[in-house]
Amino acid sequence: MLSPKKVKHRKMFKGRMKGTAYRGNTITFGEYALQATTCGYITNRQIEAARIAISRHTKRGGTLWVKIFPDKSLTKKPLEVRMGKGKGSPEEWVAVIKPGRVLFEVGGLGDEISKQALRLAKYKLTVKSKIIKREH
């Protein structure tokens, strides 16, 4: 699973996900890409599941680029614990996704295989997304 080697603070603020992505919103490497249309969190497990779905469908042909990284920790308090007594312990690592962010890119494959692989990966994620093609 993806997670940072080292972070400055173990427990982070939740923050706000307003606005659209102004960085990482264009295709830089591949021919086809999966672009987010809504905001939300994507966990490291979901990223890994989508990556495996793409690589299995393409039979490890072509090239796959994962353009997101889970660098934010989400905390959770144990079940049946009363309010107060501080913040819970870090449970999972997530990537903050804003609309317009490119999540995955594929290249070196045919059009149909690329679209089908990205469509399979789309089902593994919690944010809505669309498949886009590089403009030449």
DSSP codes, 28-43: -SSSEEEEESS-EEEE
Look at the block and give the residue holding tokens 């990537």. 95
pLDDT band at 136 (very low <50, low <70, confident <90, very high): confident
The arithmetic mean of pLDDT across residues 104-113, rounded, is 96
The arithmetic mean of pLDDT across residues 113-132, rounded, is 97
pLDDT one-digit tens code per residue, 1-14: 899 999 999 999 99
Which three-class secondary structure state does DSSP give residue 114?
Answer: helix
**Per-residue pLDDT at 114 exceeds 90:** yes
Rounded Cα–Cα distance for residues 7 and 3 (Å): 10
The arithmetic mean of pLDDT across residues 83-111, rounded, is 96
Torsions phi, psi for 88 (to 5 deg): -70, 175
pLDDT at position 44 is 97
Q: Quick one: tokens of 22?
A: 């102004």
pLDDT band at 62 (very low <50, low <70, confident <90, very high): very high
The arithmetic mean of pLDDT across residues 79-84, rounded, is 95
**Per-residue pLDDT at 76 exceeds 90:** yes
- The H or E element containing residue 90 is strand 89-97
Residue 43 Rama label (left phi>0; alpha psi -120 to 50; beta)? beta
pLDDT one-digit tens code per residue, 14-41: 999 999 999 999 999 999 999 999 999 9
To the nearest whole number, what is the mean pLDDT of the chain? 96
Nearest to 71 by CA among 46, 47, 94: 94
**Burial category of 123 from C-beta neighbours within 10 Å (exposed 0-12, middle 13-18, buried 19 and up):** exposed
**Per-residue pLDDT at 108 exceeds 90:** yes
CATH code matching the domain that covers 32-75+90-133, chosen among 3.90.1170.10, 3.40.50.720, 3.40.50.300, 3.40.50.1390: 3.90.1170.10
Nearest to 41 by CA among 89, 103, 108, 86: 103
